[in-house]
A and B are shown apart, each in its own frame.
Chain A
Amino acid sequence: MKNIFVLLLLLPVIYLRAQGPPITTGTPVMLGLAGSGIRTFGKFISKENASIYVHPFGIPYNISPKFQVGGIVPFKWITPKGSETSGGLADMVLFAKYQLYKRDGKAKTFRILGQVKQGIPTGGTASSPKIGSGHFQTYAGIVVGKISSKVGLYADVGYNFIPGPAADHFIYNFSVSVPLLPQIYPQKQLNVLLECNGNYIISPEIHTIFISPGLQFIPGRRILFETSVQLPVLQQNVLSNQTNYTFLLGTRFLFN
């Protein structure tokens, strides 16, 4: 397993061409899904005390080249160990992104976005286990990306406020993305990604970090398939709530 990580870390050096959008990190390019697309994926989470399947549908809409709004409608099924599955609509999210800075060059760009997300407690809390959080949640953060014909580097960092007794948390994600096929458009593209996903809960102090290798296949102009595995490298939460791994399989589709 260590050899695979070393190889993935070296890939950006070996393949210095272009890349696709990151899978588990935000992108500062608000173009691909500009008002006429959808992103969806299935995410299976294997935890010590339960198995969880989450399936969100994200629909963005560009109000202007600099301003995007959208919504995420997630469905969630939880199967606690030794118990029956409970599932349904989870907490919906509305989001807005605004481009704060852009510097474009020949086949490269550097962009910074500000983004806010508002979680709405639409998920059920009457059943056990609960599907929703039961709280309105507000996230504020920035997304940074440096995308060139050589490599794509992405990062998003932000703070999630939860009113009431629930703990706020700090979220950060990083991504490196490189292609495995020559850079021609339109063409079949295969991109490899290495991402890092962190979540730091302030009180009680719980820090989790995942390393997430991923693959993206773009068979044509308007559709993209992607898969990613998240493996824990740091988990300070209680053993029963720890994650063994997550597996994501998804698609992004642009309408004409």
Chain B
Amino acid sequence: MKWLIAIFIFHISVALEAQTPTEPERVYIKIEVKGLACPYCAYGMEKDLSKLAGVEHVDIELKEGLAFLSVPAAQKPTREQIEAVIVDGGFTPGEIVFRSTPFKRE
């Protein structure tokens, strides 16, 4: 009998775990935007990068000319898509880094 109860509880717990929504996996992206040297330029870049699918928030580090964003892994943009946004914004794309964990910021 004890075995039957144990098996029953095990099945219930597995079923509940399968139904619990989990945070979707995200991709974190650091983008070097060459030429980003004024606050109004930063606003334009922030606005343009926010239009990429899945992007909810863009952080701009004006001093370093960097943009940080994250997207659900399923909506990860290609390097070429990001570069196109930067070129269309009037800047020059630099290094673009994709990671599965957030970037450490100063």
Give the docked Cα–Cα distance between A254 and B65 (Å).
21
How far, in Å, is B84 (CB) from chain A's closest CB? 11
Give the docked Cα–Cα distance between A31 and B35 (Å).
11
Give the docked Cα–Cα distance between A39 and B42 (Å).
18
Give the docked Cα–Cα distance between A224 and B91 (Å).
22
Interface size class, chain A: 20 to 34
Check if B62 sits within 8 Å of A31, measured CB to CB: no
Check if A107 sits within 8 Å of B62, measured CB to CB: yes
Interface size class, chain B: 20 to 34
Check if B41 sits within 8 Å of A29, measured CB to CB: yes
Check if A147 sits within 8 Å of B63, measured CB to CB: no
**Contact of A107 (CB < 8 Å), options: B37, B39, B43, B87:** B37
Check if A184 sits within 8 Å of B37, measured CB to CB: no
Check if A185 sits within 8 Å of B88, measured CB to CB: no
Which A residues touch B39, using CB under 8 A? 18, 20, 185-186, 189, 218, 221
Check if B38 sits within 8 Å of A222, measured CB to CB: no
Which B residues touch A109, using CB under 8 A? 34-35, 37
Interface centre among A34, A147, A254 (most CB of B within 10 A): A34
Asked if B102 lies at the interface with its beta carbon under 8 angstroms from chain A, I say: no
Asked if A148 lies at the interface with its beta carbon under 8 angstroms from chain B, I say: yes
Asked if A81 lies at the interface with its beta carbon under 8 angstroms from chain B, I say: no
Q: A107-B63, A185-B60, A222-B43 are in contact. Are A21 and B38 (CB under 8 A)?
A: yes
Check if B38 sits within 8 Å of A20, measured CB to CB: yes
Q: Which of B16-42 contact A (CB under 8 A)?
A: 32, 34-42
How far, in Å, is A121 (CB) from chain B's closest CB? 33
Asked if A149 lies at the interface with its beta carbon under 8 angstroms from chain B, I say: yes
Give the docked Cα–Cα distance between A109 and B65 (Å).
11
Check if B44 sits within 8 Å of A34, measured CB to CB: yes
Interface string of A126-157 (1 = CB under 8 A from B): 00000000000000000000011100100000
Check if A107 sits within 8 Å of B36, measured CB to CB: yes
Check if B43 sits within 8 Å of A106, measured CB to CB: no
Known contacts A19-B38, A65-B87; can you find 19 more A-B pairs with CB under 8 A?
A: A18-B62, A21-B38, A21-B40, A29-B38, A32-B43, A104-B92, A106-B32, A106-B94, A108-B37, A147-B37, A147-B38, A148-B37, A149-B37, A149-B63, A152-B38, A183-B63, A185-B60, A186-B42, A221-B43
Query: Chain B interface (Cβ within 8 Å of chain A)?
Result: 32, 34-44, 46, 60-65, 87-92, 94
